[in-house]
Structure 1
Amino acid sequence: MSISSKLDQFHAQVKHNRSLWYFSIFNRIALAAGFLPSGFVKINGERFTALSNNHPMGHYLEALFHTGYYYPFIGVMQMLAAILILIPRTVTLGALIYFPIILNICILSLAVRFEGSHITAPLMVLANLYLLCWNYDKIKYIFPFNTTSLDATQKQKKLSKKFPTVFFAGVVATVVLAVLIFLKVYDVMPRNTIAECKQQFEGSNRTRAGNDFCECIHTHGQPLDQCLATYEKAPDD
């Protein structure tokens, strides 16, 4: 049996599970809720956050805000993707538009260690990937290993009521693992304010170095990498 046939068979089994169908609807609503407000803010010409311009993410968002029509264009695409994901007939197109946007946000959040989305963005990427996999039957024709003709149809089957315990246990484990990993992956975070930044060093032997790091970010507005390099070279208290 070819790879294409095996994937078709597996996808058909998954697609006819009632619980997994409900989970796909949940992901659609959650992803739409994530982009509609932020997209509207951009279209309305408002700043996305109140972060200081000296904050690493603040640097980026301030520059983005001053990019002319590019800034509201991102908002338009976010709202378009969110609306298309909510409509059953266009969910595949919406997921395809949504994915590069949220993947970019995810990488950006991790690169600048932004607390506002360094956990939610990876989870949204996973939710988006689930929708793309859920609609594999509509996008499989772009894969080189696919051997199914475009007009091939499958008989509609009655939805199974069997609860996929193993799958949802995996979902819960993935969410918990992602939260734990991205909460602990960085020892030092710029935080959103200088007070919160300094608070993370309280009770440690890096108080002085930590305070200098926070001043470097929030007061002097230096790049994150430069502030981290200075912090790592600084001696303990």
Structure 2
Amino acid sequence: MNNPSRFDTLFGQIRENKWHLLFYWFCRLSLALGFIIAGMVKIMDERFASGLSEIHPMGSYLVALYHTGYYYTFIGVAQVLAATLLLINRTVLLGALLYFPIILNIWVLTLAVRFDGSYVSAAWMLLANSYLLAYHADRLQFLWAKQSDLPNLSISQAKPSSWKFPFRFALMSAGLMAIPILFYAKGYEVMPKNTLELCTAQFGESNTKAGQSFCSCVHEEGLPLDTCLEKYESQKP
């Protein structure tokens, strides 16, 4: 009998721990809920985040996306399908695989336009989706294993039996969740924010002229974010 690898041992400990099982189900349900809500908005042909100004960087993108017709509906169907697959035990891994490129795209889009609405939540959803994929690593490893190794792959599928709290995992998860919050707070000097008032409020008493010019560029002139940022950099002291 082959000795279990370090990966096998760690994976077996995770799959036998009830706290991991509870967190696994929390990720499945919360991710499914998020995409069902977002997907149904698109399927019902309603503009997503309709309260956002149409000249806001994210608002202009969503308006353009809304006017793509059946492509907009297709995205909604894909989101609802991924969410539904997550809720079914037999298809949860397929759902996580479908979910991953969608949420990865949303996360990168959020960073690109610095959108307040999903700056933290998109990162958390991507991390949760990654956890679901890692939870099923025993099935995913067939994607990169050598053909000669396939008959020998075996990992414990024991039912959860331990209530030992995984403190190291909890601390690591909290640290990963804190990263997008810290980056949101400190990662950029300026943010377009969702309204003109919120945008100007971020500057306080400093760089007032340059800040007001930047916010006006975004929310009143409707120019691209990069153009407004260049304008801000040229005007600030």
Alignment of 1:1-237 (within 5 A): 5-49=5-49, 50-144=51-145, 147-149=149-151, 152=154, 154=156, 156=158, 159-204=161-206, 206-236=207-237
- Structure 2 unmatched ranges of 5 or more: none
Looking at structure 1, the residues matched to 152 and 31 of structure 2 have their Cα atoms a distance apart, in angstroms, of: 29
CA offsets, 1:18-64, max 9 Å, x none?
Answer: 11111100111111121111100000000001211211111110110
Looking at structure 1, the residues matched to 109 and 201 of structure 2 have their Cα atoms a distance apart, in angstroms, of: 24
The alpha-carbon deviation at position 150 of structure 1 amounts to: 8.0
Looking at structure 1, the residues matched to 160 and 145 of structure 2 have their Cα atoms a distance apart, in angstroms, of: 31
The alpha-carbon deviation at position 133 of structure 1 amounts to: 0.2
Could you tell me which amino acid in structure 1 is paired with residue 140 of structure 2? I
TM-score normalised per structure 2: 0.92
CA offsets, 1:72-95, max 9 Å, x none?
Answer: 110011011111111111110110
Could you tell me which amino acid in structure 2 is paired with residue 207 of structure 1? T
Alignment CA distance shift 1:168-1:158 (3 Å): closer
Could you tell me which amino acid in structure 2 is paired with residue 19 of structure 1? W
The alpha-carbon deviation at position 10 of structure 1 amounts to: 2.2
* Count of residues in Structure 1 that have an aligned counterpart in Structure 2: 233
Work out whether residues 85 and 95 of structure 2, in 8 Å CA contact, stay in contact via their aligned partners in 1.
yes
Pairwise CA RMSD: 2.0
Work out whether residues 119 and 183 of structure 1, in 8 Å CA contact, stay in contact via their aligned partners in 2.
no
Work out whether residues 119 and 180 of structure 2, in 8 Å CA contact, stay in contact via their aligned partners in 1.
no
- Structure 1 unmatched ranges of 5 or more: none
Tell me the SS of whatever aligns to 2:123.
helix
The alpha-carbon deviation at position 15 of structure 1 amounts to: 1.0
CA offsets, 1:168-223, max 9 Å, x none?
Answer: 1221222223312222211100011111111111221x111111111111111111
Work out whether residues 21 and 160 of structure 2, in 8 Å CA contact, stay in contact via their aligned partners in 1.
no
Looking at structure 2, the residues matched to 155 and 28 of structure 1 have their Cα atoms a distance apart, in angstroms, of: 19
TM-score normalised per structure 1: 0.92
Alignment CA distance shift 1:10-1:193 (3 Å): same
